[in-house]
Amino acid sequence: MARAIHLAVEAARKQARALGHPVLASAVLPVGRLDPSAAFVGALSWPVHAPGPSRSAPGWQRFALAAGDEGPTIIGVGAEWTLTAAGDARFEEIQARFRRLVEVSTILRDGNGDLRDGHGDGHPAATGIVALGGFRYDPHRSPDAAWQQIADADFMIPRFLLTIPAGPEPALLTINLAVSASADAGLTASQAASQARALIEAISQGLAPQPPEVSQAPPPAPDDGARRWLRDDGADRWLHEVRLAVEAIREGRLSKVVLARALDVEAPGPLDPGRLFEALWGQCPGCARFALSYGGMWFIGASPERLAAVDAGGQVRSMALAGSTGRATRCHEDEALARALFDSPKERHEHRLVVDALREALAPLTESLQVPGTPRLLRLASVQHLHTPLAGRLRAGISVVDVVKALHPTPAVGGHPKAAALEWLRGHEEFDRGWYSAPIGWWDAQGNGDFWVAIRSARLEEARATLFAGCGIVADSRPESEWEESWLKLQPMLRVLEEGWRRGRIERTREPGRGHLPLRA
């Protein structure tokens, strides 16, 4: 391992001398089979080593996205290089900066001893130079203090990148190193190889998290204590905003708007991210699990909604996810809920708005596009959704970031028309969403990429977690029903917190402004 890294670093050092600035050396090496869940938990708990010169403190530390059968598990540890952009041009700017990094400043080396340019043609997807991160939900919204540290577009090139395929193929480790003209190639390679071996050993010796021993029956949502919140100040304000949204829709100013709420949960001591990751992996089957560590903040979740996936051949996939109902413990009751969801004019209308918007946004970017005429059912632990997959072939020169720009925010997390819904939310929603319901994911130098909508998520800081949920409001929405639906959507992350902490119970209490759940030991 050290020799391969040394050769890559030495080549990068020579190029850095010629260019007059640091460049990125990237070595891609096979590491055998790794269990995705053990790697997810182990790598995210492993100490982050010193970053490269391009990173601003405190900045990026870790990123992980496990798409299950839908794609590889991607785990990045330590930021060796960072890329940021701001404002409405953030999509174009972040692509341009990534392209310059790849084309001008990168040496790529594979395990066979062949030097390649930054594009890394022939390498598997999500290896080599891969950007990990996300885009803020709305760059025109003044950020809350908790989100202020992240840029409108914020990505890292990790020092260590694990790519674990969904199939039987071996995992690959990419080691990215920022190399200056004065770098000691031998010392740099030796230190990186030692750190990489320690990372792989820690993961290989770890045990995969076990699924929680809990009933598959969904919990009631909300319970009697939570129902009392309908009369407190926080609930009253949110319900009032729902009524204002319905009024705006009935007046023709909007067709739909997605109104979100935040819920604070407080523990008796600092949160243990490792325990929460174990619970996150065991919970939420059928979703893409993600975890981002930035400065002193963690953002974790399990999203059922893919925004855009693109492969190097130009195939694109997206999905419409809108229209929701709960789950029942008995099979016939669960089927009755599903039938009611399919037969509901309100839910079908809300879903159709999303499908039509995605089709309209993707049409100019694609040569062909397949959209089923009838939605399917996506069943999760506590909620079931109407779901329509979209697939097609992109026109030449269109990237996954171009697709993300065209789609975000979809009517499933913003509203319709897009601009009017965003403007309405800026005037009525009480908090800055930051990364909540925003695109998070990755893309590589070969043209592959995968972005998910960061819903069913929580922001973690010290002893506090902030959970988020949103509801699509249309003309015949009922505020009390939307409030209860928001509780359904909060359940997955509440279960993760309860399972992760493994203590006591959550007691719901009233707090003016927003719901607040202290955790009693």
Those residues whose C-beta lies under 8 Å from the C-beta of residue 85, and which sit 6 or more positions away, are 91, 93, 94, 97, 151, 152, 153
Query: What length does the chain have?
Result: 521
Q: What secondary structure letter does DSSP report for 398?
A: -
> 433 is written with which tokens?
């969403």
Strand partners for 369: 392
Cβ proximity of 254 and 420 under 8 Å: yes
507 is known as an active-site residue? no
**Distance from C-alpha of 118 to C-alpha of 96, rounded to nearest angstrom:** 14
346 is known as an active-site residue? no
Q: How crowded is the C-beta side of 440, counted as CA atoms within 13 Å?
A: 31
Residue 108: the pLDDT is: 65
| 307-355 pLDDT per residue, tens | 999 999 999 999 999 999 988 889 999 999 999 999 999 999 999 999 9
**Distance from C-alpha of 24 to C-alpha of 114, rounded to nearest angstrom:** 16
**Distance from C-alpha of 83 to C-alpha of 291, rounded to nearest angstrom:** 19
- Max distance between CA atoms of the chain, in angstroms, equals 71
**pTM metric for this prediction:** 0.90
Helix axes 479-501, 273-282, angle to 10 degrees: 120
In the set 241, 256, 350, 429, the catalytic residue is 256
Helix axes 233-250, 479-501, angle to 10 degrees: 130
Phi, psi (deg, nearest 5) at residue 165: -65, 155
Cβ proximity of 125 and 446 under 8 Å: yes
> 8 is written with which tokens?
């890559």
* Residue linked to tokens 């918007």: 357
Of 95-99, 168-172, 258-262, 351-355, least confident by mean pLDDT is 168-172
211 or 239, greater pLDDT: 239
In the set 305, 347, 429, 499, the catalytic residue is 305
222: preceding bond cis by omega (within 30 degrees) = yes
> 182 is written with which tokens?
């004065």
Look at strands 383-394 and 376-379 and give their pairing: antiparallel
| 413-456 pLDDT per residue, tens | 999 999 999 999 999 998 999 999 999 999 999 999 999 999 99
Q: Is residue 115's pLDDT more than 60?
A: no
| 45-64 pLDDT per residue, tens | 787 764 554 444 458 999 99
Q: What secondary structure letter does DSSP report for 124?
A: P
Residue 294: the pLDDT is: 92
Q: Report the chain's terminal Cα–Cα distance, integer Å.
A: 47
Cβ proximity of 300 and 287 under 8 Å: no
**Distance from C-alpha of 345 to C-alpha of 29, rounded to nearest angstrom:** 53
497 or 460, greater pLDDT: 460
* Residue linked to tokens 């991210």: 273
Of 145-154, 197-206, 341-350, 403-412, least confident by mean pLDDT is 197-206
pLDDT classification of 8: cutoffs 50, 70, 90: confident
pLDDT classification of 278: cutoffs 50, 70, 90: confident
Those residues whose C-beta lies under 8 Å from the C-beta of residue 207, and which sit 6 or more positions away, are 38
Q: Is residue 221's pLDDT more than 50?
A: no
Residue 149 Cα to chain centre, angstroms? 17
